[in-house]
Amino acid sequence: MASIKGKTIWITGASSGIGKSLALELGKYPCNLILSSRKEADLIKVKEACGGSDTISILPLDLKDHHQMDQISKKAISFYGKVDILVNNAGISQRSLIKDTDLDVYKQLIDIDYLGTVALSKAILPHFLANGIGHYVTVTSLMGKFGSPYRSGYCGAKHALHGFFDVMRMEHEKDGIQVTLVCPGFVQTNVAKNALTADGSPQKTDDKATQNGITPELAAKKMVSAIQKRKFEVNIGGKEISGAYLKRFFPKLLHKVVLKSQVR
């Protein structure tokens, strides 16, 4: 099991949900944390909740600013002289039918969930290569493995992340670079409330599946375990995890199960 002692870990989407809980969990370890999101005020609160230590730095980040990633990565490296682990956690979801969804909504999902993550990961790659070590921990979703109604654009972006980071692992494993794909199911966060609807506005309402999901604290503990074990992939959630296996072995059965139990 790889130790995270003394490591510098950069977490995107750290102001709430899984990212916040991961920061609080990692704050228990002797490591450096860099917390990023668009909401600087919320990041300050997360830092204070972690103890406000000098080993925790705040770096505002908007994944839509693709061309700023090189500069932002240099800033991240400057805090502690290195970045060992990049946790690609930031993103946004969707709740709308294909027939109703504006094309601009799909573009926004790709710009944030896929291209933003790719741009940031490429920006830090030369640093990882120069050090001969680096670990990408990319939070996708079970929706990156199989689909569900009302989430077409979200599923598309998350599927794309699996393809990109599988290749990242293949191309750079020889260079000391690790890739862990984290695939959460239902977790008690604001992901449903913030999800984009057909016209790009947030849904603003929760759903029962999310409310009944696992806690973000439990998700964070499982993520830390996966990071330390350097797992290729980890599925996190409840009974919905079975969908990943049904997709592989019984895709028609999964199709029926999802349609029967679909939630918006």
CB 27 within 8 A of CB 50: yes
Catalytic residue among 80, 106, 114, 154: 154
* CATH 1.10.150.120 is right for the domain spanning 8-261: no
Q: pLDDT grade, residue 264 (50/70/90)?
A: low
Can you give the residue ranges of every domain in the chain? 8-261
User: How does pLDDT run across 102-113, given as a tens digit for each residue?
Assistant: 999 999 999 999
Q: What length does the chain have?
A: 264
Cα–Cα distance between 192 and 196 in angstroms, integer?
Answer: 9
User: How does pLDDT run across 175-195, given as a tens digit for each residue?
Assistant: 999 999 999 999 999 999 999
The residue type of 261 is: S
Q: Which residues pair with 7 in a beta bridge?
A: none
The residue type of 177 is: I
Q: Is 154 among the catalytic positions?
A: yes
How is residue 74 written in tokens?
């240099």
| Residue 18 CB coordination number (10 Å) | 25
The structure's pTM equals 0.95
User: How does pLDDT run across 198-211, given as a tens digit for each residue?
Assistant: 999 999 998 888 88
What pairing do the DSSP bridges indicate for beta strands 134-139 and 85-88?
Answer: parallel
Cα–Cα distance between 212 and 9 in angstroms, integer?
Answer: 30
